[in-house]
Every structure is written in structure tokens, then in C-alpha cells.
Amino acid sequence: MDKMINIKINGMPCSVPYGTTILEAARQLGIEIPTLCYLKEINEIGACRFCVVEVTGARSLVAACVFPIEREGTEIFTNSDRVRKARKTTLELILSTHERKCLSCVRSGNCELQKLCKEYGVDDEGKFDGDKPVYEIDYSAAHMVRDNNKCILCRRCVAACNQQGVSVIGANARGIDTHIGSAFELPLNATSCISCGQCIVNCPVGALYEKDDTEKVFEAISDPTKYVVVQAAPAVRATLGECFDMPIGTDVTGKMFAALRRLGFNKVFDTNFAADLTIMEEATELLSRVKNGGVLPMITSCSPGWIKYCEHYYPTELDHLSTCKSPMQMQGAIIKSYYAEKNGIDPKDIVSVAIMPCTAKKFDCGRDDEAGAGYPDVDYVLTTRELGRMIDTAGIIFKILPDEECDAPLGQGTGAAVIFGATGGVMEAALRTAAEVITGKELENPEFHDVRGMEGVKEASYKLGDLDVKVAIASGTKNAKVLMDKVKDGTADYTFIEIMGCPGGCINGGGQPVQSATVRNFTDLKALRAAALYENDKNRPHRKSHENEDVKTVYAEYLGEPNSHKAHELLHTSYVARPMFNK
């Protein structure tokens, strides 16, 4: 049992385990100590000095986020005059080099710096204004914009990139010239950035943001010559409500479809359909590899951040990847082929829009070999955040919308499709179908709990008929490295591997609603969001991809069978080895 230490915080007695930080101890008493740089288990560096507090016996103020409580009888003051003045001065110093264009900033109203300045009475007079470096904005990446003029050097983006095992950004130069950049000051698109967007969701201000395509989509909707179709990914329904102050983990499926319809899209579809289609193609591909001596283990291909990571860091192992396109791209290909032909629409007139939890999807839709019908499968990708802004701009009161269904025939999805949004979900969906296909028997319980959970790496073994199947799941690309090193050296004795580019999967994607550090540090976002998807799965009439009637119809009327020649032309893709740095 941990040794307990008796202390006082603002005069209130408290008992905490030895080594507990002041930040965590104060939280137990309902006292929120403000932070800027701190992210629990990601960026615990005490760099910004905004969380300073007074501690008896200490000569100077200490950083509450990293200061351990080790002395019996310690007295701590979190809101003294000295503390408040120090914090206000820190904010004024930060603002002295911060571009203060708050009205037009994408984070206005959801900016941690802005909120703290308001709370501490810091105005825009610029008390410490002086030499202010000016940086060229980096628009080079397909998915995001980097504006160092708004950076506060908290290094949360650097820590998030390191957590992903990518580490393409860091602190360059010294003193007043210190800034966040890539090696040799390369633009982001010349590095091995995987477009995951974890830097964006962890940034406290507006220094990093996704490339906004909302105006292009509004223009397409307003163009009478265009037929604008939208699809929404499984994970978006578990997070979109956060854009409108609804509780984390609220399933807003019906309201999401209602909002999309009110925005003026001609048809509103569900990417769940394509998730089920992906399982049919991927499971068939896996069984073919097993029976015919193909390359094993086969690895999932639905996460574009992971695919780009593999192309950069494991280019010799690309033949392990499933050739299936991501569900988003599959849905787009079916819309511009099967759906277009069935409804007599020229695919050149279709504008295909996808609502995704992922910034890497913006890169995904522009990849080569992603135009199954001769036109790009998907024309525009909007993040969950962008959809939230569109809904606000259109004056739609999201919270009072009725629940509505999406359109047929590309809207039906099973429970297996819904759980694609959480780490382990693709694996579980595949196992549900593979088990019944291999054994010819219906599963009594379709749930595979061994592959669920937020652990970085999970393993499980199953006996499916005469086939022994060993599987592995990696959550986030840093954990993918653990499995890929085994694949590379030949010690990976798995049949099938699922890898998600973001920790926790799509529910924690780089395009999801931004939550402040206060929420991220003390709330299990991933668990709450995933729970919404698993509950949705439980309530579905069909929970296995091969039970999807719309998918069956598309095969019967158009594709023939999974992995057919036509299916390969439309639904499968190829990969390319990418250098670590481009000149």
C-alpha cells in the first residue's frame, strides 16, 4: 500500500499517496489548478510555469503539474495574491509574441489561452510587447496548416508527435527565436508526417488547424448542376455532440443525419455501409491468403494515418497490407459507380463529401489509385469539427433536431460496422464474419471482448473450425512499431493484425472535437466515446457484416462476389514506398 501523506491545500486537510503531484491532489478537493503545457502521461514537463503554486518551505513558486508531495504537513496555496500575479505575468509574456487575431481564429471561443486571459483580466494592450518574430505559415501538408505566429511554445504538439513515434517536429533555435519546426526547417509535406492530426487536437491555441473545406462544400451544395452526396463515418456519431456542448459519449446518429439533410445535401449516406463492405472484401482476402499461401500476417488498411506510417517507416513490408481501400473510399467508389448507374446520374456531376474523425482522410482522398469509377472516389473530406462549424454557420439548432434515418440504399450498417470507430473494432467485426463463414455456424454471442480495450497492444487466439487464428491489435503508430518490428524480423506468428493510426482509434482521431487539457487530463475521452459505439452495436438488429442486406444487394446486382475482378477495380488499391524526407 502506498504511504499516505497528510497535507493542507488552501487550509483544507487532505491525505494523498506519497509522490502525488500537487495538481492531482488539488483535484481531489475540487480545486482546479490551471495549466497550459501539461498533458497527463504525454507532456509532463512543467515548462509554461502557469500552474505555479506556493508551498511552505519552498523558496520560489513551484509547478503544480510536476511537483511531487513527499513531506508530511506540507501546506500549499493555489490562489494567493503572489500566485495570481505570477500567472497573470506569464500570460502577458506569452501574449507579447502571440498573434492576437482572435476574432478570425478557428479556436476563438475554444482557446485555452483566450479563456485564461479572460479569467485573469489580461487585456490586449501588450504590456511586454517588443521584438516579435514573424513566421511564414506552412500550408504544405494536405491536411493541416501550421502557424507559428500563434504558437505559445507549450510543446504539446511535439509530445503528441513523439507519442505517435513519428517525431517530425521539435523546438528549433534558441531564446527569442525558439520555434516549433521540422528538421532543417523543412515544410511539413517534405517530412514523414503521417497526417494523423494528433498535434492539432492537443494544441491549446490556434497555431495548428485542419485545412478547412467547408466553403467549397457550401459552394457545391449551392450549384444546381451538382449532385452532392455525403457520408458520415462510424466514430463521428459518438463525438459530434461535443461540438454543441452535449455530454462526452452521446450518440447523436439521428440528429447528425437530420443536420446533414438540413445543410442541403442531395443524399445522406452512412459509411457504416462501406465498413460492412470492407469486412466482406477483407475477410475474403484474408481467407484466400490463408488457403493459398499468401503473405501473412495480413494487416488492416482502413486507417490512412497508419498506411502512410507504413509507407514511410516499413516500406519493405507493404505486401502485408490488405489491398482494400478505406471504407470512406469504398463508399465513394460505389456512389460514383453502382449508385450513379442505378439512378442515371453522370458521375462527373456527383460531388462526394465525407465527414470523418480523421485529418489523414484529407490525404487519403488524394492518393493515387483512388478513383475506381474514373473520378476521385471522394472529392472533399470534412472533419467532425468542420461539420460542427457548418451546422453553426447554417443556423441549425443541433440539440433540438429530431432523430432521422439516412437515405437508402447505401445507408444500412450493422453493429459490426459501428465499432470500426474504436481500436479493436475492425478486428472484432472481421472475426464475427470469419467465424461464421469458416464454421458454417451462427455465433451465440458475437462479442469478442479479448480484442477490446485501450491497451497499446493486444493479442488473442481463436479456434475457428480447423483453423487456429492468432490476432494482434495496435493502438497508435508508436505501438504499431512493436508489431511491425516483429513482422520485419519474421517473428510475428499472427494471422491477422489490426492497426489504428491514432491511440484509441477513430474516436480519438485528429479531426475530432478539441477538448481542453483540463478535460483530457481527468476524463477518459476514449472510453466514453467507445462506449457509445458499443452501445449502438448492441442495439442494432444485425451485428455481423455479412447480414447487411444492402451489401448483399450490391454484390448480387453489381459486384458479383467479394474479391471479384470488378470489386478489385473499384474497392482495392495499391501502396508506394515513401522516402523519410523529400528534397
CATH of the domain at 113: 3.30.70.20
Co-location of 398 and 376 in the same domain: yes
Q: So what's the pLDDT on residue 583?
A: 41
CATH code of the domain in which 23 resides: 3.10.20.740
Question: Which is it for the CA torsion 431, 434, 439, 443, positive or negative?
Answer: positive
How many Å from the N-terminal Cα to the C-terminal Cα in the chain? 56
Are both 253 and 292 inside the same structural domain? yes
244 falls within a domain: yes
Enclosing H/E stretch for 309: helix 304-313
Q: Does the residue 576 lie in any domain?
A: no
Report the alpha-carbon distance of residue 362 to residue 89 in Å, rounded. 40
Q: Domain boundary at 92, 123, 147, which? A: 92
Does any domain span residue 83?
yes
Instruction: Please tell me whether residues 188 and 258 are part of one structural domain.
Output: no
Domain check: are 431 and 541 in the same one? yes
Q: How many domains does the chain have?
A: 3
Distance in angstroms (rounded) separating the CA atoms of residues 407 and 269: 6
Q: Looking at residue 57, what is its pLDDT?
A: 86
Q: How many C-beta neighbours within 10 Å does residue 52 have? A: 23
Q: Mark whether 390 and 502 lie in a shared domain.
A: yes
Q: What angle do CA 503, 507, 508 make, to 5 degrees?
A: 40
CA R_g for the chain? 25
Residue type present at position 138: D
Asked whether residue 579 is domain-assigned, the answer is: no
Domain boundary among 65, 92, 119: 92
Nearest to 64 by CA among 37, 88, 41: 37
According to the model, what pLDDT value does residue 434 have?
92
Phi, psi at 335, each rounded to 5°: -60, -45
- Over residues 129-146, the pLDDT tens digits come to 888 899 999 999 999 999
The answer to the question of residue 87 being in a domain is: yes
Burial string for 220-242 (b: 16+ CB within 10 Å, else e) reads: bbeeeebbbbbbbbbbbbbbbbb
* Whether residue 346 is found in the same domain as residue 264: yes
Asked whether residue 177 is assigned to any structural domain, the reply reads yes
DSSP secondary structure letter of residue 151 = -
CATH number at residue 336: 3.40.50.1780
- Cα 533 to its chain centre, rounded Å, is 15
Write out the residue range of the structural domain in which residue 69 sits: 4-92
Pair 283, 427 in one domain: yes
337 shares a domain with 293 = yes
Cell readout for 96 is 507579447
- Contact (Cβ atoms closer than 8 angstroms) between residue 127 and residue 92: yes
Neighbours of 357 (CB within 10 A): 30
**pLDDT reported for residue 129:** 83
Which pLDDT score is estimated for 132?
Answer: 86
Both 383 and 523 in one domain: the answer is yes
Question: Do 459 and 508 reside in the same domain of the chain?
Answer: yes
Backbone angles phi, psi at 84, to 5 degrees: -65, -40
Low-confidence ranges of the chain (pLDDT < 70): 1, 581-583
pTM of the full structure: 0.96
Last residue of a domain, one of 76, 92, 108: 92
Same domain, 270 and 407: yes
Same domain, 300 and 373: yes
Which residues make beta-bridge pairs with 354? 231, 381
Domain membership of residue 582 (yes or no) is no
Torsion of CA 506, 511, 516, 518, to 10 degrees: 10
pLDDT score at 2: 76
Answer yes or no: is 577 within a domain: no
Confidence at residue 453, expressed as pLDDT on a 0 to 100 scale: 95
User: What values do phi and psi take at 506, rounded to 5?
Assistant: -65, -25
